[in-house]
Amino acid sequence: MNRALIVIDVQESFRRRPNWEAVSAPDIVARTARLAAAAREAGDLVVWILHADPGSGGVFDPGLGHVRLMDGLSPAPGDPVLTKTSRNAFTTTGLQQLLTARHVGEVVVCGIQTEQCCETTARLAADLGYRVTFVTDATATFPIEHRDAPPGRALADILADPATLPTDQIIARTEYALAGRFADIASIDDLAPVDDLAPAAR
């Protein structure tokens, strides 16, 4: 059974949003690069996913030039790069067909955001019959305002609001929801022990 690392939305769009200052893993590029290096070393397929909202005029609109991998990440020759317009990485791409053609039965999920595109992809992958590993510390997310919060607040006001859900609680909730149902929870160290990596990937 072949395995694929699915890297979701580690793209410049997120760094263009005001809430980037509150991201749970500001070093997500280094974490992702380490995981991708280990996947290649193991002979696994690495698939890069980007998110686009064409015509939206926002940071995910391809016309603005931000729908690209963050600096420090680049596909290796032969790495597929797919662009989605849905939360999960399957519905609006040919990902399932690609994995089927490569005889992939297990997927490893990482990227941005933990509880949105990453968790949704993991859930759907499990429903499609894949064995799923969710590498929580190779995902990143942002504080979430309460649904009744007034729109347009400054980041400082959002963070000061006791009703705002902090990133550590978001991450913990995702692990609780996925573990034993949709995915095995793993860490970067589980999949990419430092001693096993080439010097350039450390």
Rounded-to-integer distance, Cα 135 and Cα 118, Å: 10
Total residue length of the chain: 202
Predicted local distance difference test score (pLDDT) of residue 38: 97
- Point out the residues of the chain with pLDDT beneath 70: 195-202
**87: number of Cβ within 10 Å:** 18
Task: Give exposure, 41-73, as e/b (b: 16+ Cβ within 10 Å).
Answer: eeebbbbbbbbbeeeeeebbbbeeebbebbeeb
> Could you tell me the pTM of the whole model?
0.93
Q: What are residue 53's phi and psi, to 5 degrees?
A: -125, 80
Predicted local distance difference test score (pLDDT) of residue 194: 78
Predicted local distance difference test score (pLDDT) of residue 1: 78
| Cα Rg, the chain, nearest whole Å | 17
pLDDT tens digits, 57-74:
999 999 999 999 999 999
Predicted local distance difference test score (pLDDT) of residue 196: 54
Active site residue 117: yes
Predicted local distance difference test score (pLDDT) of residue 124: 98
Which residue of the set 10, 35, 36, 117 is catalytic? 117
Predicted local distance difference test score (pLDDT) of residue 202: 46
Mean pLDDT of the chain: 95
Q: Set out the domains of the chain in order of their start, with CATH numbers.
A: 2-191 (3.40.50.850)
